[in-house]
Chain A
Amino acid sequence: MDTFKKFKVPIIIVIIYFALALWLPNTAKRSIFVAIDYAKEMVLIMPPVFILMGLMEVWIPKDKIQKWLGSNSGVKGAILSFLMGTIPTGPLYVAFPMTASLLKKGACISNMVIFLGSWAALKIPQLLVEIKFLGGAFTSLRFVLTFTVIVFISVIMEVLLRKSHDKVWPEEDL
């Protein structure tokens, strides 16, 4: 029963697919192809990401993360978060559990917002594709503006969330 509850939403989605297949078979077919495409990507990317997370949990002590990415890490911590985000490591949803485990180990919120922001918007391979199709001027201006906005957001969120977390990050909660 517990497993069923955990997979309630995916099961509902499968039912929606069946309904769609009866109602609009062409759309359903397209949807299934897209889902399969994304599934392939997930199958390739998720296992190494989770294993890397496990290795990080085991090998990197809490005080190191606190020192490198904690609230006293200053500009260096922010730069490190930015660089970590730009490494080509897959879609953004991969980063959420990783960010949670870094927060649990003592990284501060502003650095994690920078990490997620650069992961999402400032990735190196993504920028190369962008230059190719939208040009250098567009790409560089978007890069500078997005970076500025991310820094702003990180400061705002640090201030707002430092006082009242709605989520604590306990040891066993990844």
Chain B
Amino acid sequence: MTTIITIYSILAVCLGLSLWKNKQKTFKAFLIAGKAFMKNAPSLLTILGIVGLILGILTPETISRLIGAEAGLIATGIAAVLGAITLIPSLIAFPLAGSLLRSGATIMTISAFITTLVMVGVVTAPMEIKSLGKRFTLLRNGLSFIGALVIAAIMGVIL
């Protein structure tokens, strides 16, 4: 909700200013927006479809079963991979992580899950490749995955 309000307020201010300053330029901005939308539409539909499939199979209960069951390094690894391949909104992910923590998952496992969840996006990689290139995408996601494991290890030691 905050997101929607913020983005529409920013849009209202910018669009108002733009219309006031120059109608033609504003029209051109809409043309560019339309073109960018058309270009990204297939990728967006793909993301929708794949997210649906993955989350239909990997329900919160399944995820809990997979990473809450044992407390070893294997659980941390599974958590990191699950975080990387799923795309869960924070309003669902954080309560899930909180309940996993209470039911016995380690801090390391939860940190790995949260960090790869937000930083690594396997589902969105095709769109990232289209916009930013293959090397950029592979490097960003690969380094983020390694970084997430480092973060998890440090958090496990400190907390």
Which A residues are closer than 8 A to B by beta carbons? 6-7, 9-10, 13-14, 16-17, 20, 27-35, 38-39, 41-42, 44-55, 57-59, 87-93, 96-97, 99-101, 103, 109, 113, 116-117, 120-121, 123, 125-126, 129-130, 132-134, 137-138, 141-142, 145-146, 149-150, 152-153, 156-157, 160-161, 164-167, 174
* Smallest CB separation, B5 vs chain A (Å): 9
Report whether B128 and A157 are in contact in the complex, using a CB–CB cutoff of 8 Å.
no
Closest A residue to B154 using CB positions: A145
Known contacts A10-B45, A51-B15, A51-B30, A35 near B52 by CB under 8 Å: yes
- Find chain A residues with CB under 8 A from B30 CB: 51, 54
Q: How far is the CB of A69 from chain B (nearest CB, A)?
A: 15
Is there a chain A Cβ closer than 8 Å to B50's Cβ? yes
| Contacts A13-B49, A88-B2; A93 near B115 (Cβ below 8 A) | no
Given A31-B53, A42-B48, A137-B159 in contact, is the A161-B121 Cβ separation under 8 Å? no
Contact of A38 among B14, B43, B51, B159 (CB under 8 A): B51
CA distance A7 to B121 in the complex (A): 21
Q: How many Å lie between the Cα of A48 and that of B13 in the bound state?
A: 12
Given contacts A6-B42, A121-B119, contact A149 B159 (CB under 8 A): no
Interface residues on B, range: 35 or more
Residue of B nearest to A172 (CB): B35
**Chain B residues close to A by CB (< 8 Å):** 2-4, 6-8, 10-11, 14-15, 18, 25-26, 28-37, 39-40, 42-53, 55-57, 59, 87, 89-91, 94-95, 97-98, 101, 107, 110-111, 114-115, 118-119, 121, 124, 126-128, 130-136, 139-140, 143-144, 147-148, 150-151, 154-155, 158-159
